[in-house]
């Protein structure tokens, strides 16, 4: 997924998905040209959406960390977000608690806002909406005219949509899977939840296109892709269950010293005809590839070293299962992972080798 990294909280990288950036940009241009009077209210509302999605995902991540998961990064989408963990929770209870944490925070914000406007009547808030059943037009007007109500409305919709639509990868789908997993096991529960999710996704796309609601159609596409990805991850872990990683270990990886400058690194690339290296650091290892060199201007190569631009990678012990290794590849988008025995490097597992191993196991299981 392409996006913009804008910070870190609790060691978790925060990334804005390209669709969120595109939404902000298109809305800003459209409003500036055609509806300048609505520009500021709409930008405030989009900011509230961004803030609410961020808090929603942070709550998921905090609960996940408390339950022992390692969260690498949060990707913010217009309809919610994705917390990239090293593995999907195996305990139905853990997944249930993590899943409801985000929506519950949204509902808590709604509750606190209602208390605040009740305690301080002078705050600008459309109390008249609660005196009768409001029309859609009245609600839309209030959302733009009253920032506090806009914040309340965004959190209410975000919480309800994520929790009550039983489709992966949204929270409602994860809650459904956690309930099914209690009786059917995690793998079967995921397959069933993914099928239900794809039916819901197709319904969203059809209704969105027929009703002229482009956002609903886009949500449907996101849900369809996300459900497929969830199912693929679980299928991979199921195939690799109890498989030893020794057959896919490359015992002679190309390791370069982190103190080499980029001219030296490039010379090794040419000599070895390889573009992917393990970098030996003072503490641990990193990964460096050709794309990393493209990010640095050639005139600076003499003063930039492999250790400066490589991505830190945690090694895993030789006795690890292939299913756990696959989960790390999927969660962290690694190209290789160093393998250790008694804290000594004995080789690496490369993404391509693991993919080949997966294809072979799929054929065996037919």
- Tell me which residues are annotated as active site: 57
> What would the two tokens of residue 261 be?
């400058």
Sign (positive/negative) of CA torsion 151, 76, 71, 14? negative
Helical H runs in the chain?
18-34, 39-66, 92-119, 136-145, 147-164, 171-184, 186-210, 214-240, 262-272, 290-294, 306-309, 322-332, 351-364
Bridge-based pairing state of the strands 12-17 and 276-280: unpaired
> How many helical (H) and strand (E) elements, i.e. helices and strands, does the chain have?
13, 11
Residue 250 CA to residue 353 CA, distance in Å, equals 9
Q: Token pair 């609790």 is at which residue?
A: 10
CB 72 within 8 A of CB 12: yes
Q: SS3 for 79?
A: coil
Measure the CA–CA gap between 316 and 197, rounded to whole angstroms. 34
Which of 337, 357, 355 minimizes the C-alpha distance to 347? Answer: 337
Residue whose structure tokens are 């595109």? 22
């Amino acid at each position: 997924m392409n996006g913009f990294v804008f910070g870190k909280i609790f060691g978790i990288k925060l990334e804005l998905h390209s669709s969120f950036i595109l939404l902000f940009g298109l809305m800003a241009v459209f409003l500036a040209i055609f509806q300048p009077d609505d520009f500021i209210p709409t930008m405030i509302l989009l900011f509230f959406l961004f803030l609410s999605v961020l808090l929603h995902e942070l709550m998921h991540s905090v609960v996940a960390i408390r339950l022992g998961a390692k969260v690498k990064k949060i990707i913010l989408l217009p309809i919610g977000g994705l917390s990239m963990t090293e593995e999907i929770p195996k305990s139905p209870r853990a997944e249930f608690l993590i899943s409801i944490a985000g929506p519950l925070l949204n509902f808590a914000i709604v509750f606190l806002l209602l208390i605040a406007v009740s305690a301080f009547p002078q705050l600008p808030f459309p109390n008249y909406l609660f005196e009768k059943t409001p029309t859609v037009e009245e609600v839309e007007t209030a959302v733009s005219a009253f920032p506090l109500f806009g914040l309340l409305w965004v959190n209410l919709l975000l919480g309800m949509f994520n929790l009550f639509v039983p489709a992966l990868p949204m929270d409602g789908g994860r809650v459904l899977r956690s309930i099914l997993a209690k009786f059917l096991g995690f793998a079967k529960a995921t397959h069933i939840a993914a099928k239900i999710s794809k039916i819901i996704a197709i319904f969203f796309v059809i209704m969105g296109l027929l009703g002229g609601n482009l956002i609903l159609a886009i949500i449907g596409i996101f849900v369809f892709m996300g459900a497929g990805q969830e199912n693929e991850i679980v299928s991979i872990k199921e195939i690799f269950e109890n498989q030893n990683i020794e057959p896919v270990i490359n015992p002679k990886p190309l390791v370069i010293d982190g103190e080499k400058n980029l001219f030296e690194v490039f010379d090794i690339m040419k000599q070895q005809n390889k573009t992917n290296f393990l970098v030996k650091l003072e503490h641990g290892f990193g990964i460096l590839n050709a794309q990393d060199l493209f990010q640095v201007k050639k005139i600076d190569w003499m003063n930039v070293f492999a250790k400066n631009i490589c991505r830190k990678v945690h090694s895993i012990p030789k006795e690890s299962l292939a299913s756990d290794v696959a989960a790390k590849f999927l969660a962290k988008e690694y190209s290789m992972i160093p393998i250790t025995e008694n804290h000594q490097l004995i080789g690496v597992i490369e993404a391509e080798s693991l993919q080949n191993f997966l294809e072979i196991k799929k054929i065996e299981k037919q």
